[in-house]
Amino acid sequence: MFYKLLKFWHLQDRKFKRPFAELRMLLTCQFANKTPLHRACAELLAILIHDTTTETCYLASVCELGNSIRATDLGLSIRVHGFDHKLLDLTSEILKVLFSFNSGDEFLPAGIIADRFYACLDILRRKYNNEGMRASSLCSDIRLRCLRPTIWSANDKVGNVNDIMRLFQCD
């Protein structure tokens, strides 16, 4: 079921007297957090989208536009914010890359380079290997997993990422 809801606020910048706009989207996916593999794939998708749009997002940041893409328990959270009237153009570019993953039976969409896919997969693997290195983050992670059983540990997710790397033989 789709809910058609669009709320658009703007906040006047106090220094330069320009409106500051922000667009937030939550693209929900029923299986985004079903298993550690699903969660790792959602996080890999967010990294791939960020990596593919790096050049565009850098040019947008020069014009005071920012963005973030992250995987959540419900799906993907996309945030675009800034002063410029090109906010919707940047959002369109990000969504174009996102929806290109839904374009058929190909291994990767046309805009994604295979070498960058393997690099993003390695970035994700290193991120999971480095999680829990500080005692305070490890303790808070364990507490959260006790309260919510659908928060997957980094060890569970790194095992799945290693399986993906073996499947594509990119160790």
- Residue that wins the pLDDT comparison between 21 and 120: 120
Interval 31-86: pLDDT, tens: 888 888 889 989 999 999 999 999 999 989 888 899 999 998 888 999 999 877 78
Question: What does the mean pLDDT of the chain come to?
Answer: 82
Q: Is residue 3 scored above 70 in pLDDT?
A: no
Residue 60 CB neighbour total at 10 angstroms:
22
Parse the chain into domains and list their residue ranges: 10-167
Per-residue pLDDT, averaged over 152-159, amounts to: 81
d(CA 83, CA 105): 39
* Among the ranges given (14-18, 48-52, 88-92, 146-150), the one the predictor scored with the smallest mean pLDDT: 14-18
Residue 10: per-residue pLDDT: 63
What CATH number belongs to 10-167? 3.30.830.10
Residue 1: per-residue pLDDT: 47
Per-residue pLDDT, averaged over 89-107, amounts to: 83
